[in-house]
Chain A
Amino acid sequence: MTLALIVVAVTLLWGVVSGSFETLNLLLGAGFGLLVGFILRDRVKATGGLRRVRAIVALAGLFVWELLASAIGVAVLALTPNLKARLRPAIIAYPLLVTTDVEITLLASLITLTPGTLSLDVSADRSVLYVHVLQLTNRETLIAGIAAGFEARIMAVFR
């Protein structure tokens, strides 16, 4: 089931990238799909359902909104006359609730693309994510904000 999904997705992707939907070309794409499915065979779990689709849409919506807000925020900041006074950089240890590789990677990437935060490193035991903050106001509010926002929605997708 999961393999079929991967093959279909990679085939479509290949059709889009190569710009041709002819039968032979799509067969080549399906071949790549099989290869990808084979490489990922132990990494993907078969899960699905409408609940998960809704969770993914919610996460994507939050992400697009935050991405625009962060780009505008950092662009405005770049034009601020008194830049040094406005910045309050800090590196914060964020206690991770998510545990798997996929979840941590996704959370780290989302954090990097959202307002004022940038993922720096994950601790060796994968319990802490070090986050660089551009304008720190309050450490606890920041951590609570990430936990209630992205981390909660990532968990909704993967659990």
Chain B
Amino acid sequence: MFNDALVFASIVLVIFGALFGLLAAIGLLRFPDFYTRMHAASKAGAVGCGLIFAAIAMVSLDGPVALRAGLGIGFVLLTTPLSAHLLARASYLTGHRPAASTAVDEFADTER
């Protein structure tokens, strides 16, 4: 009974995780420039990945596996913002300008 509930809950988590992954991909396709795309990839991507890790932790019914899945969530949340920041910074410094629709760009005025 308890196991059934766990399996059911993890199914829900996997579905939502996959959904966030899909929406992140759609966002990547539809957003106008590189910087707005990084928003979709970093946020929805990290949450989707985290939800699937949580589902693994639930359905494994095994202490060490669940702990490692929890650790996986931690590392995803630790590394995703770093890579998003690195990619965005590198692309700006190598001359990739934001889309023309960008309202304010206070970064452009600074000396580097």
Contacts and interface: CB of A to CB of B under 8 A. Distances in A.
A120 B68 CA distance: 31
A136 B104 contact: yes
Nearest to B84: A112
A124 B107 CA distance: 12
A113 B81 contact: yes
Contacts of B35: 89, 91, 118, 120, 132
**Max count, chain B CB within 10 A of own CB: residue among A13, A68, A87, A89:** A89
24 contacts: A17-B71, A19-B68, A71-B20, A74-B24, A75-B19, A75-B23, A78-B26, A78-B27, A79-B23, A84-B101, A87-B31, A87-B32, A89-B35, A91-B108, A108-B81, A109-B78, A118-B35, A118-B85, A118-B88, A119-B85, A121-B89, A128-B110, A130-B110, A136-B104
Interface residues of B, number: 49
Contacts of A88: 101, 103
Interface residues of A, number: 44
A38 B17 CA distance: 39
B68 A78 contact: no
A135 to B, nearest CB: 10
Interface of B: 19-20, 23-24, 26-27, 30-33, 35-36, 38-40, 42-44, 46-48, 64-65, 67-68, 71, 77-78, 80-82, 84-85, 88-89, 92-93, 98-99, 101-108, 110, 112
B36 A134 contact: yes
A74 B40 contact: yes
A93 B102 contact: no
Given A67-B43, A120-B85, 20 more contacts: A71-B47, A74-B40, A79-B23, A83-B30, A84-B101, A87-B32, A89-B36, A90-B105, A91-B35, A91-B106, A93-B107, A112-B42, A112-B85, A113-B46, A113-B77, A118-B38, A120-B88, A121-B107, A132-B36, A132-B88
